[in-house]
Amino acid sequence: MVRDSNEDVRFLTGAPAYVYALITTIFKFSPVNAVIEADGRRLERKIWLISVANGKYYGGGMMISPDSAVDDGYLDICLVNEISRFEIIKFLPRVFNGGHKNHPAFEVIKAREAKVIFEKKVMVQADGEIIGNTPFEVSIIPKALRVIR
Protein backbone atom coordinates (compact mmCIF):
# COMPACT_ATOMS: atom_id res chain seq x y z
CA MET A 1 0.00 0.00 0.00
CA VAL A 2 2.85 2.39 0.81
CA ARG A 3 4.41 1.68 -2.56
CA ASP A 4 1.06 2.39 -4.24
CA SER A 5 0.59 5.69 -2.43
CA ASN A 6 4.19 6.79 -2.99
CA GLU A 7 4.62 5.75 -6.64
CA ASP A 8 1.25 5.23 -8.32
CA VAL A 9 -0.80 8.08 -6.84
CA ARG A 10 1.12 11.17 -7.81
CA PHE A 11 -2.08 13.13 -8.48
CA LEU A 12 -3.04 13.07 -4.77
CA THR A 13 -1.14 13.90 -1.57
CA GLY A 14 -1.57 13.32 2.16
CA ALA A 15 -4.62 11.50 3.49
CA PRO A 16 -6.47 11.36 0.11
CA ALA A 17 -3.47 9.54 -1.45
CA TYR A 18 -3.37 7.08 1.42
CA VAL A 19 -7.12 6.42 1.27
CA TYR A 20 -7.00 5.93 -2.51
CA ALA A 21 -4.09 3.50 -2.17
CA LEU A 22 -5.88 1.63 0.61
CA ILE A 23 -9.07 1.19 -1.39
CA THR A 24 -7.25 -0.01 -4.50
CA THR A 25 -5.09 -2.34 -2.38
CA ILE A 26 -8.14 -3.92 -0.74
CA PHE A 27 -9.06 -5.45 -4.09
CA LYS A 28 -5.52 -6.74 -4.77
CA PHE A 29 -4.82 -8.13 -1.30
CA SER A 30 -6.37 -10.70 1.04
CA PRO A 31 -5.89 -11.15 4.79
CA VAL A 32 -2.71 -13.02 5.72
CA ASN A 33 -2.02 -15.51 8.51
CA ALA A 34 0.36 -14.01 11.05
CA VAL A 35 2.06 -14.98 14.27
CA ILE A 36 2.68 -12.17 16.73
CA GLU A 37 5.07 -12.88 19.58
CA ALA A 38 4.63 -10.05 22.08
CA ASP A 39 6.34 -9.99 25.47
CA GLY A 40 6.42 -13.79 25.58
CA ARG A 41 2.83 -14.28 24.36
CA ARG A 42 2.18 -16.01 21.04
CA LEU A 43 -0.90 -14.97 19.09
CA GLU A 44 -2.08 -16.32 15.75
CA ARG A 45 -4.34 -14.13 13.64
CA LYS A 46 -5.52 -13.70 10.05
CA ILE A 47 -5.10 -9.99 9.46
CA TRP A 48 -5.59 -7.24 6.92
CA LEU A 49 -3.24 -4.83 8.62
CA ILE A 50 -0.79 -4.55 11.47
CA SER A 51 0.53 -1.22 12.67
CA VAL A 52 2.98 -0.78 15.51
CA ALA A 53 2.39 2.62 17.07
CA ASN A 54 3.77 4.69 19.89
CA GLY A 55 1.60 7.69 19.07
CA LYS A 56 -2.03 8.07 18.03
CA TYR A 57 -1.67 9.30 14.43
CA TYR A 58 -0.18 8.42 11.06
CA GLY A 59 -0.91 8.58 7.34
CA GLY A 60 -2.12 12.16 6.94
CA GLY A 61 -4.07 12.38 10.17
CA MET A 62 -5.36 8.85 10.60
CA MET A 63 -5.83 8.10 14.31
CA ILE A 64 -4.75 4.48 14.00
CA SER A 65 -4.09 4.03 17.72
CA PRO A 66 -6.48 6.24 19.70
CA ASP A 67 -5.33 5.07 23.12
CA SER A 68 -1.56 5.21 22.52
CA ALA A 69 0.59 7.26 24.87
CA VAL A 70 4.16 8.11 23.90
CA ASP A 71 5.26 8.03 27.53
CA ASP A 72 3.70 4.78 28.79
CA GLY A 73 6.67 2.54 27.93
CA TYR A 74 4.64 0.35 25.55
CA LEU A 75 4.15 -0.06 21.84
CA ASP A 76 0.57 -0.46 20.67
CA ILE A 77 0.36 -3.26 18.11
CA CYS A 78 -2.84 -2.48 16.21
CA LEU A 79 -4.44 -5.27 14.19
CA VAL A 80 -7.28 -5.24 11.73
CA ASN A 81 -8.39 -8.86 11.83
CA GLU A 82 -10.14 -10.64 8.97
CA ILE A 83 -13.41 -9.02 7.86
CA SER A 84 -15.05 -8.59 4.46
CA ARG A 85 -13.80 -6.07 1.91
CA PHE A 86 -17.11 -4.22 2.24
CA GLU A 87 -16.62 -4.00 6.02
CA ILE A 88 -13.07 -2.66 5.54
CA ILE A 89 -14.42 0.14 3.33
CA LYS A 90 -17.00 0.99 6.03
CA PHE A 91 -14.27 0.78 8.71
CA LEU A 92 -11.86 3.17 6.97
CA PRO A 93 -13.55 6.55 7.59
CA ARG A 94 -13.73 5.82 11.33
CA VAL A 95 -9.92 5.70 11.52
CA PHE A 96 -9.76 9.50 11.14
CA ASN A 97 -11.56 10.15 14.42
CA GLY A 98 -10.72 6.98 16.37
CA GLY A 99 -14.22 5.57 15.95
CA HIS A 100 -12.80 2.26 14.74
CA LYS A 101 -11.41 1.33 18.17
CA ASN A 102 -14.65 -0.39 19.21
CA HIS A 103 -15.02 -2.36 15.98
CA PRO A 104 -14.86 -6.13 16.66
CA ALA A 105 -12.12 -6.60 14.02
CA PHE A 106 -9.81 -4.03 15.65
CA GLU A 107 -7.44 -5.33 18.30
CA VAL A 108 -4.60 -3.70 20.22
CA ILE A 109 -1.79 -5.61 21.89
CA LYS A 110 0.42 -3.61 24.24
CA ALA A 111 4.00 -4.84 24.42
CA ARG A 112 7.55 -3.71 25.01
CA GLU A 113 8.87 -5.96 22.25
CA ALA A 114 7.35 -8.01 19.48
CA LYS A 115 8.18 -10.18 16.52
CA VAL A 116 5.75 -10.48 13.60
CA ILE A 117 5.89 -13.40 11.20
CA PHE A 118 3.60 -13.77 8.16
CA GLU A 119 2.97 -16.97 6.22
CA LYS A 120 4.31 -15.15 3.15
CA LYS A 121 6.66 -12.24 2.61
CA VAL A 122 4.97 -8.87 3.14
CA MET A 123 6.59 -5.43 2.82
CA VAL A 124 7.22 -3.47 6.01
CA GLN A 125 7.12 0.31 6.14
CA ALA A 126 8.12 2.88 8.73
CA ASP A 127 6.89 6.44 8.54
CA GLY A 128 5.76 6.02 4.93
CA GLU A 129 8.96 4.42 3.65
CA ILE A 130 9.46 0.77 2.77
CA ILE A 131 12.19 -0.60 5.06
CA GLY A 132 12.14 -4.32 4.27
CA ASN A 133 9.98 -7.40 4.47
CA THR A 134 8.51 -9.61 7.13
CA PRO A 135 9.41 -11.07 9.52
CA PHE A 136 10.21 -8.01 11.61
CA GLU A 137 11.00 -7.25 15.22
CA VAL A 138 10.29 -4.08 17.19
CA SER A 139 11.04 -2.94 20.70
CA ILE A 140 10.74 0.17 22.80
CA ILE A 141 13.33 1.73 25.08
CA PRO A 142 11.33 3.49 27.80
CA LYS A 143 12.29 7.11 28.50
CA ALA A 144 15.05 7.03 25.85
CA LEU A 145 13.71 10.21 24.23
CA ARG A 146 12.61 13.30 26.06
CA VAL A 147 9.33 14.58 24.61
CA ILE A 148 8.19 18.15 25.19
CA ARG A 149 4.43 18.62 25.12
Q: How many independent structural domains does the chain possess?
A: 1
Q: Which of 141, 142, 52, 64 is nearest to 100 (CA)?
A: 64
Query: Is 142 within a domain?
Result: no
Average pLDDT estimate for 70-93: 92
Residue numbers of the domain that contains 68:
2-135
Confidence of residue 9 (pLDDT cuts 50, 70, 90): low
Task: Check: CB of residue 83 under 8 Å from CB of residue 46.
Answer: no
- Say how far apart CA 1 and CA 135 lie, in whole Å: 17
Most confident range (mean pLDDT) of 4-8, 28-32, 36-40, 126-130 is 36-40
Task: Check: CB of residue 60 under 8 Å from CB of residue 30.
Answer: no
Beta carbons within 8 Å of 122's beta carbon, 6+ residues apart: 32, 133, 134
Higher pLDDT, 62 or 2: 62
Name the DSSP letter for residue 82.
Answer: S
Greatest pairwise CA separation for the chain in angstroms: 44
Query: Is 113 within a domain?
Result: yes
Query: Is 81 within a domain?
Result: yes
Give the domain CATH number at 49. 2.60.200.40
- Phi and psi torsions of 148, nearest 5°: -100, 125
**Which pLDDT tens digit goes with each residue over 23-80?**
888 888 899 999 999 999 999 999 999 999 999 998 778 899 999 998 899 999 999 9
Query: Is 146 within a domain?
Result: no
Query: Is 126 within a domain?
Result: yes
Query: Is 143 within a domain?
Result: no
Beta carbons within 8 Å of 20's beta carbon, 6+ residues apart: 5, 9, 12
* % residues pLDDT > 70 (the chain): 93
3-class state of residue 2 by DSSP: helix
